[in-house]
Structures are given as structure tokens and as C-alpha cells.
Amino acid sequence: MKKRLLLIVTAIALILSLAACGGGSSSSKGPAPTTKKSYSFTIGSGHSPAGFPYVSAAQDFFEPEVIAKAAELGYEVTFTEAYGGTIAPLADMFEATASGQLDIGVANSLFEPTKAMLLNYNAYCPFGIDDVATSYEIGTRVYEANKETIDKMLAQYDIKYLGVGIPISSYNLLTQFPVESIADLKGHKIAAAGANLYLLNGIGATGVESNLNEAYTSLQTGVYEGWIVWPNGVNGYKMDEVAEYYGGTLQGKD
């Protein structure tokens, strides 16, 4: 069975882990005169490139870099993009990649609290790191120190880890009410991706598993009253239109 490619990203303030596998699907176009063989890959994500640096990095850097490096070796590589949940939503990226619907899945591991458990270590850390270089270094060292265990976990889904991706930015609270202390969250419904719902334990808030594709409508209709989210997500999905407070402060009036 061919292994599929999976780009795994953890979107907390620490690290985005980029994962992938060994095989992929090759096309039957036949080699061009100057190439040995042609390969075509379908790459996708539950999020869109707009507002999500880990996805835009796959589109703007990963794809052209693979194409260029392959060309240096005499191969032709093309990509068919399926971002924004075109083929699979956030919670189904493992399944879509392992089954071959996607050759490369750009997946946020926070939406896979069980299957990507070992990659969600940062969801259990009390503080994050904003420095990009330090985050990258930590992510690489964590993987190298636990390579055998992580690879074995992903092998269950016919997936192999490729490398470390990019940090996003610090998490904060986006809410429809002011937050001056943890006590202010008691009794409120707060959304998060999945594994990071752990951050709400023991403070009296009700955690709701959700995703940013539905955040605007859910905030607007009262499904929940806030989000654990980073600034890019707020801007990309215009969530500030339905939730006035970020980091406990009225937006634009810090």
C-alpha cells in the first residue's frame, strides 16, 4: 500500500509540525523529453490559504520548492489544489489522506486530538513561544527525540512525517464580553479546535469543539460566545464583526 503525504500543523503559540509521507500518486502522462518521469499530487486542507499561514506556506513555498527541486533532478511535478475543505473538512484530513483522496493533506493536528495525540503536546503547555526560529528549533528537536514513537503512531494511518512547518502566532481569547480575569469566563461557552479545549479545564467555562469555517455564524447565532484563536484567524474570517473583545479588551481601543 502506498503511503500518503500529510502535512500536520499544530496551531498554538508554539509550533506548526509539518508532516508527510513517502509515496504519492504518479501520473501516466509519460515523461517529457527533458524529464525522467512526471508526478501529479493532489494537495488539500480544511482551511483556506487566506488567513492561515500554515496553508499559504504550503501553497506559496512547499509546492514551488518541490517543483523546483524535482526539476533539478530531471522530474516534472504538478499539484492539484484542494484547499478550504474542497475534498475534506478539518476533522477528516487523516482519513482523506490515508484513503488516497488526497496525496498531501495539510492538516491541523489540533482537530485530531486522538489520532495526532503525540503531535499535540503544545496544547498542554501553559505558555507558548512567539519567536519563529525558536519555535522551529523546538519542534524539530521534539520530533527527532521521539521520531520512532511518532512515526509508529502515524504509520497506523499509512502516513509518514515529513518535517517541521511554521509557527503562526500567540493564542488569545476572542469574546463577546470583556474578560479581566479567569473568573469572567465562568458559565460562558468558548470554542476551540479540539485538543486545545484542555486549556479551559477547571475554570468553569464550557468548551465547544468547532472550526473557523463555521465560527462567524456560530458566534452570530449564540452557539458559543468566544474563541481561543490567533489574530490571523480573527482577521481572515472577520470574526471581529461578531465578537468585540480580543484578549479581554475592546478591539481597536487597547
Give 99-131 pLDDT, tens digit per residue.
999 999 888 888 888 888 888 887 777 666 767
Measured in degrees and rounded to the nearest 5, phi and psi for residue 245 equal -110, 135
E strand or H helix at 68, and its extent? Answer: helix 63-72
Which residue from 102, 108, 56, 110 is spatially nearest to 80, judged by alpha carbons? 102
Distance CA 26, CA 130 (A): 39
Per-residue confidence of the chain (254 residues) as pLDDT tens digits?
444 455 544 332 222 222 333 344 444 344 444 547 999 999 999 888 877 888 898 999 999 999 999 999 999 999 999 999 999 988 888 899 889 999 998 888 888 888 888 888 877 776 667 677 787 888 889 889 999 999 999 898 888 777 666 666 677 899 999 999 999 999 999 999 888 888 898 999 999 999 888 999 999 999 999 999 888 788 888 999 999 999 866 665 44
Indicate the DSSP class of residue 79.
E
* Burial bucket for residue 249 (CB in 10 Å: 0-12, 13-18, 19+): middle
E strand or H helix at 107, and its extent? Answer: strand 104-108
Verdict on whether the full-model pTM lies above 0.75:
no
Give 124-158 pLDDT, tens digit per residue.
776 667 677 787 888 889 889 999 999 999 898 88
